[in-house]
Structure 1
């Protein structure tokens, strides 16, 4: 990527994301500080990661939020939950593709 500037809406989110996973910032807090909504924040995070190559990870525990990893350990801590989610989504896709389009009725027509 040769571009060195971010669109203003993305920069507003980017500058608030802390370096290191010790004090991540939540999507709700990012939305409040950028005067947007959580859905927009998540889309902006996605763009920063995919379109600009910025390594933003998310922590999904009770004190979850976004952060830029300082090292490979922090990066891995952010990637593992995504891999677990990917595996669960794959299971769901397979179940939907293999589901009998009529068999489910037995649960409703009791």
Structure 2
């Protein structure tokens, strides 16, 4: 609609939030994606849910990757334990 890439729009929104202090939030649900300015605390919290979920997912991934014993992993890799299944 604006003739901009998704990444360009995201960067512009980040600038508005960080540089200008505009409280832009997002809705990320099946078929309903977009950004908006919350009118009240309830809308703000609803708009932050997607970001908070993304943070939880990222934290789980970091914990999982950090918990892997790399020496044992690479040995198992050499032994064919992780055979390609895709």
TM-score, structure 2 length as denominator? 0.78
- Aligned position for 1:46: 14
Runs of 4+ in 1 over 3 A off after TM superposition: none
Structure 2: give runs of 5+ residues left out of the alignment: none
Q: Which has the higher strand share?
A: 2
Q: Which runs of 5+ in 1 are unaligned?
A: 1-31
Q: Select the structure of larger CA radius of gyration.
A: 2
Give the aligned length: 78
Q: How big is each residue's C-alpha offset from its partner over 1:5-42, in whole Å with a ceiling of 9 and x where there is no partner?
A: xxxxxxxxxxxxxxxxxxxxxxxxxxx32x32111111
For 2:18 and 2:62, how far apart are their aligned partners in 1? 23
Query: 1:100: how far off?
Result: 2.4
TM-score by length of 1: 0.63
- After superposition, give the CA deviation of every residue in 1:26-69 in whole Å (9 maximum; x if it has no partner): xxxxxx32x32111111111111122110101000121201001
Residue correspondence of structure 1 range 1-110 to structure 2 within 5 A:
32-33=1-2, 35-61=3-29, 62-101=31-70, 102-103=72-73, 105=77, 106-108=81-83
Name the CA distance, whole Å, in 1 between partners of 2:37 and 2:82: 46
Q: Which structure ranks higher in relative contact order (CA pairs < 8 Å, sequence separation ≥ 6)?
A: 1
